[in-house]
Structures are given as C-alpha cells and as structure tokens.
Amino acid sequence: MSPTIVALLLVLVPSASAGQRTGDRSVVILSPARGDGRLALTREAIVFWNQTFSDLMLRPRLVEAGVIVASPITRVLETYARGISLRAEGLAPSDAGPAAPRELTTLRGDIVVFLSKQDIFSVTRPLAPPTRFFIVIQSDRASPVNAPDVARNVIAHEIGHALGLAHNADPTTLMCGPCEPVVFGSRGRVFPPLTPEDRARLLELNPAR
C-alpha cells in the first residue's frame, strides 16, 4: 500500500477519544465516484439503524469513519467482490472462496461498505476477526436496483446482516431473503419494517444504555 493511501486511511478513521463510545461500530465507505448516489443512501441506512438502536434503548451506534473515493485499491476489491458474490448467488463452487485481500483486511473500520460498479449480487461477508464485515453493494445502474428505494433498502438489508440479523420469509420486511430486489420497493415507506424476531435479536446481541 502506498504512503498516500496509508496517510488517507489514518486521517479518515477517528479514535475513540474523538467522540466514539465503547461498542460503537465504525463504517468506512468506498465509492467509485464522489457523485455516486449510493453514498447518500448508505448514510440514510446508517441513520435508520441508529434510530432503530435508539428506539430499542440500545447503546451502540454506527459511526461513519470515512469515505474513500476512486481509490487505487478499487480494482483489487472489485475482483474479490465478484468472487464472493458468485458464490453467494450459487454461480460458483460453494467452497470457502477467495481469501480477503490485504488491501481490504488492513483497512480500518468495523464495517466496510464497497459500492461496486458491477452488476453482481450484493453480499455481506465476515472478515477476521469475525466482528468485522465487508459489504458489497451491486451497481444501481441497471433494473431493478435503479428503481426508487431499492438500492437504499438493499444497503440497509446488508448492514442488517453485519449487525447479526438473518433472512426471513416475509417479503414485506427489510430482512426478507432470498427476495427479488424489486420486492425492496417500499411502496411509500423509506425502509420496510423489521420483524419482532429481528428486534429481539438486536436486543440479545447489544448492550442496553
């Protein structure tokens, strides 16, 4: 990794003394361009999850630790994203798949959200240690992900996996899966609801205030 990239990452990630509380989860977003509309959608998803934590009287919050735009590591991450996406979609052998590249594992951040330029399957994959996660978000340039609310809800759905939530079979809820992306159209709501089981799981996994 070049000194320029290292310096950038050190600036992007604040320490706990800069306002983060114990138990907060830092989020780093990688985008191919500063004008990518998914940047704003990712921030809306972070606000949604923080409001959910607040409503449940839970202590942690998601903290945006930085945005990396048009980084030289993007090509490596795109290759890795395609490899794990094909396995998640069942289009490649269901083995462990490719190891996470060093360019990813050395990034600071508990949750790394990668806004891919590829028309692939959005997926969340644990990193080492298992409390860290890599989220791949597919391109929003093709149907149905370019439909209103779909990309926003896909991002919130994948963050839900990083927070410990599993799929359910109710197509009207945020964590439905497997669901066609068009199901994520909110029909007037910004985000589909969580199930009572989702809320119970969050209460189980996170400390109260």
- Asked whether 45 and 156 are in contact (CB, 8 A), the reply is yes
What pLDDT score does 33 carry? 93
Instruction: Report the alpha-carbon distance of residue 83 to residue 80 in Å, rounded.
Output: 5
Per-residue pLDDT of the chain (209 residues), as tens digits, is 333 333 333 334 333 334 456 689 999 999 999 999 999 999 999 999 999 999 999 999 999 999 999 999 999 999 999 999 988 865 555 566 789 999 999 998 999 999 999 999 999 999 977 789 999 999 999 877 888 788 999 999 999 999 999 999 998 899 998 886 555 665 555 799 999 999 999 999 998 98
What pLDDT score does 106 carry? 93
Nearest CA-CA partner of 8 in 85, 94, 91, 66: 66
Residue 66, strand partner residues: 28
**181-199 pLDDT tens trace:** 555 665 555 799 999 999 9
What pLDDT score does 110 carry? 96
What pLDDT score does 3 carry? 33
Residue labelled with tokens 């994959």: 125
User: Mind listing the domains of the chain with CATH numbers?
Assistant: 3-8+23-203 (3.40.390.10)
- Asked whether 66 and 31 are in contact (CB, 8 A), the reply is no
What pLDDT score does 194 carry? 96
What pLDDT score does 89 carry? 66
Nearest CA-CA partner of 136 in 153, 151, 155: 155
- Alpha-helical (H) ranges within the chain are 3-12, 37-55, 74-88, 102-105, 150-162, 196-205
Instruction: Report the alpha-carbon distance of residue 107 to residue 65 in Å, rounded.
Output: 11
Residue 15 makes CB contacts below 8 A (sequence gap 6+) with none
